[in-house]
Every structure is written in C-alpha cells, then in structure tokens.
Amino acid sequence: MSALSTVFEKAKKENRAVLIGYLPAGFPTQESSIEIIKAMIEGGVDAIEIGFPYSDPVMDGPVIQEAAETARAAGITMKKTLEIVKETVKTGAPILMMTYWNPIEKYGVAKFADDFAAAGLEGLITPDLNFEEADAWLKASEKNDLHRIFVVAPSTADVRLSDVISHCSGFIYAASTMGVTGMRTAVSSGANELVARLREKTETPVAVGLGVSTGKQAAEIAKYADGVIVGSAFVKAILANPQDPIPAVKELAQELARGVRGEF
C-alpha cells in the first residue's frame, strides 16, 4: 500500500478527512519552500501537493499566480523541483505534484516518471490533461507505481465521470466550482453533489479543492469528502508575513487540521 493510501485509511479509521496542503515549488524561494512545507506538516497537514509554476496557469487564481510568478522569477526549474521533492519526502508525508502537461512533455514523460518516482513522489495531479490524451503518462505512471489523479468538476457528465474514475488512483480531485483557485467566503454546494455522484460509482477516495481557506470550511467539506485540499490560504499567509511566514503557516495548518476533525 502506498503512503498516500495509508494516510486515507488512517483518516478513515479516525473518522475524519485527510488534509492536503498545496504550495508552488520554489515559493518564495527554493530553500524557504522546503521549510514552509515542513511547517505545514508539523501543523497537521497529512499530504503535500507541490505545484510546478507555469507561465499559462488556466486553473490558477490570482493568489497562486502571484506565487508562481515569484517562484519563476527566483529561477525555479523542474530539476530544482525534483530536489524539493527529495527533501520533503524525508518528512514521511506523501508528496504529490500538480502540474500542467506542457512542462512534463518538455522534460520527457518517461524521464519525468522515472526521476520523480525515484525521488519519492507519490503521484501527479494533471488539471489540463484529458485521459484520452494520456497514453504516455498512463504507461509511465503504471511502470513507476505513481498515482494518477485527474480533476472533475460539477459540470462533468455522469458518463465521463465513470471514464475518469477508471483512470484515477490515490484519490479523485473534485473541483468545488467551475472557477479558478482562490479563497472564498463559502464553498459551492456543487461540491457536495459532485462527491455524492462519485460515491455512487467508486470507492476511490474523493478530495475537494478550490476555495477552502478556514477551519470552518474544512469542517463543512470533511462531512462528506475524504480529503480537503487547501492552497491559496497558505500562499496568502506567506504573502502577508514575508519576513517569517512559518508561524502563520503552522497556525493555519493547525486550524485546518482541527477543521477536518470536525472541531468547528
């Protein structure tokens, strides 16, 4: 059983959801991003989603885009992201990566899978890759035992949900809304409905992302989802505390960790 699967099994036994934290690789710098990820885990984050900063992030909202631009300006590369993965897997927490497809094609699909699996990566979230066009990735990920995590949205038709599910492993990423990433005052009711539709078709864990920023929102989603994904809130905490973001990051992680345990 993979580390990611173990985390979901453990959370299920504890009657709670898994907390997944997102951070762009190299934000605000390569070295500090490693320390921030460690602080997220120390604060109660169960698994980490490292985003690869990309020049055309169609799914990313303004907060994530700002962080990605900062990381790109600081010189983040796929090779440096590989080093971040190598360092953060030492925490023992499952490390995932979220990236648009173009950087992987540029790096080389087979080489990416070989290199990142060797570094300890658990799997990949591919927001702009359709499974119909994923043959090379399906083969490379299967060879390296990497989880394949595709994104579904409230607008996804039932017949397509079944097709996506059949190609997913680890968990299914359920986008709570059709919009881009970002903090919201309330999470769309479409998330609950989408998870319910997925539950009818699969026992694969479902994690909900896009818009979660508080412990109360995490608690709301944890009532019906197996996992809660938080990204923009962590980035905003870092941007608000540029001199020393660690305390703010850890405090937010602790609040969210209480949320997925239903303590709000």
**Predicted confidence (pLDDT) per residue in 79-101, tens digit:** 999 999 999 999 999 999 999 99
N-to-C CA span, the chain: 32
Task: Please give the pLDDT value at position 54.
Answer: 87
The topology under which CATH files domain 3-260 is: TIM Barrel (3.20.20)
Which residues have a catalytic role annotated? 49, 60
Q: Are 173 and 47 in contact (CB under 8 A)?
A: no
- Does residue 188 have a pLDDT over 60? no
pLDDT digits (tens, 9 = 90+) for 114-160: 999 999 999 999 999 999 999 999 999 999 999 999 999 999 999 99
What is the distance between the alpha carbons of residues 255 and 99, in angstroms, rounded to a whole number?
27
Task: Please give the pLDDT value at position 177.
Answer: 59
What is the distance between the alpha carbons of residues 239 and 108, in angstroms, rounded to a whole number?
33
In the sheet that holds 47-51, the strands lie side by side as 147-149, 123-125, 95-98, 47-51, 18-24, 227-230, 206-209, 172-175, 151-152
Phi-psi region of 120 (alpha: psi -120 to 50; beta: other; left: phi over 0): left
pLDDT digits (tens, 9 = 90+) for 49-90: 999 998 776 667 889 999 999 999 999 999 999 999 999 999
- Does residue 25 have a pLDDT over 50? yes
**Domain range annotation of the chain:** 3-260
Residue 93's nearest CA partner among 146, 144, 38 is 38
Task: Please give the pLDDT value at position 58.
Answer: 66
SS3 for 200? Answer: coil
Report the range of poorest mean pLDDT among 15-29, 169-183, 196-210.
169-183
